[in-house]
Amino acid sequence: MNQGQLWDIISFASPVVLLVGIIVGLLNFSRLNASYRIIVVYLTICFVTDLLYRYLGIYSHLKYNLFLIPIFGFLELVVFSILYYRHILQNKSNSLMLFIGTMLLLILSEIAFATKLFHRETFHSYGKVIADASVVFFCLLYYWKVFKGQIPINSEYTLLNAAIFVYYSVNLFIFLSVNFLVNAKLNFVVFFWVVNLISMVLFYLILIYLIWQNGRIRRIMR
Amino acid sequence: MAEWQDPENYAIGLSVVLLIVIFLVTSIVVLTRIYLKRMIQEQERLSKAKIEHQQSLMWNSLLVQEKERERIASDLHDELISRLTVLMYAIQTSNSHVEPVEVLQDSIKIAREITHDLCPPLLQQTSLPELIENFISPLSEVFAIDYFPGTNPCCSELKNEIKLQLLRMVQEIINNILKHSKASKIVIRLRFTKESIAMVIHDNGIGFDTSQKAQGLGLKNIELRSQLLGGKCRFKSNPNQGTTFQIYLKNCSVTQPV
């Protein structure tokens, strides 16, 4: 077994953890509150996207999956916008809605008009970067509002926000330099993909833990 | 190609920057968590202090009620029952030195005073300024009282419960002045607007040190009544500089439809 095959096997940690998360989420779905149901939907989107990445990159005749990155970024931004706008930030302000709308339009314009998505040598995923930066902004906005006393301190949301903040900060950095990472030799960039995989798996595990905990608490309260 | 553009060097540089980013972000999260924990502890301490204060006020309210019952019992026993006992012996022994009608009239007067003290008569028909005036008028023989009742006619629309509570607060404050202040002058001002009532009572007595933690039952009772009315109560005093009580109610529901 060579190094590449080893990393291929280790990379299956991501869909396995996602599958566990979806099962935990579906078992508790009726008991979960709305924000955690959104997280279950997010895990489902991640799982489907992971399978598509593998199929398009390994099994299909295209052998190319990078164009999925901004599409996935768009879906991530939609999910986290709903989560933060309606539940975590409890902020129904027009300026935030305008910000979200603008970011989504920018990502859509990249998907619709940019042709560089299908050339690996010139590939840049500004859509994913915009989505990640927007999610990081939501996290910082949450901290700001808590410090100002505009929203009450909720320990579950604080942990969720911390996990999202760390993961998407790392993700933002990685996808800023994605052109280098996909074109350079693997032995130079393996460290980044390992960090990406570890942060992704840890992030999913924290989400699964929060879903399980919320389901358990609401079962006890009934 | 420049040295930094070499893929290996570029990857190393990028790795270092990534590690720095991870470190910074993790530090922000940890520090924020510590700060939020401290905020929660502060909020819990404040809630606990508020609850303790409320419990203390409720307890004092119970003590004041018991004290009031004792006073009424004492008035009934010492004044009314003693006179009726004298009347009974006078009738039984046919004592000509005692005039039964006079004793009965005194007894009725005392009973009336006790009843008025418990609940002012014609509360519905009497305005708050009139109630206060009825209370302070006997004191004008002892104190120089400047009373400014305000001229807003809407004060007659106050609910009876509100009038009674405000009257009790004035009675408590005046009793404190009588007992402790050694004052010679009292100034009472009332001010009414459509939605608020303000009351200021000032005396030129010996004052007291407000920084002392212990407050008497009377002051706590005043505070509790103002809280129940949804109002605010403040007092300012310094030794030998008199005392000023300020009571403020801002609530349109204090009035009832005419």
Residue B7's closest chain A neighbor by CA? A184
CB burial readout A132-168, b (16+ within 10 A) else e = bbbbbebbebbbebbeeeeeeeeeebbbbbbbbbbbb
% of chain A residues with pLDDT over 70: 98
Model confidence at A202, pLDDT cuts 50, 70, 90, reads very high
B36·A166 Cβ contact <8 A: no
- Residue B140 and residue B174: Cα distance in Å, rounded? 12
Residue A219 tokens read as 């079962």
pLDDT at A25: 94
pLDDT at B4: 63
Mean pLDDT of A115-135: 83
B11·A191 Cβ contact <8 A: yes
ipTM confidence: 0.81
Which member of B18, B26, B36 has the closest CB to residue A166?
Answer: B26
SS (H, E, C) B77-139: HHHHHHHHHHHHHHHHHCCCCCCHHHHHHHHHHHHHHHHHHHCCCCCCCCCHHHHHHHHHHHH
Candidates A146, A169, A176, partner chain B, best to mutate (most B CBs within 10 A): A169
Q: Which residues are within 8 A (CB) of A167 and not within 5 positions of it... i.e. 6 or more apart? A: A199, A200, A202, A203
Candidates B28, B30, B34, B47, partner chain A, best to mutate (most A CBs within 10 A): B28
Model confidence at A38, pLDDT cuts 50, 70, 90, reads very high
pLDDT at B122: 73
Radius of gyration of chain A (CA): 18
- In chain B, the largest separation of any two C-alpha atoms, in whole Å, equals 134
pLDDT at A173: 92
- For the ranges A7-11, A43-47, B29-33, B213-217, the maximum mean pLDDT occurs at A43-47
Residue pLDDT tens, chain B, 258 long: 566 667 788 888 888 899 999 999 999 999 999 998 998 899 899 999 999 988 888 888 888 788 888 888 888 888 888 888 888 888 888 777 778 888 888 888 888 888 877 777 777 778 888 888 888 888 887 778 888 887 665 555 778 888 888 888 888 888 888 888 888 888 999 888 877 888 999 988 888 777 664 566 778 788 888 888 888 888 888 888 888 999 998 764 555 443
pLDDT at B258: 38
pLDDT at B200: 93
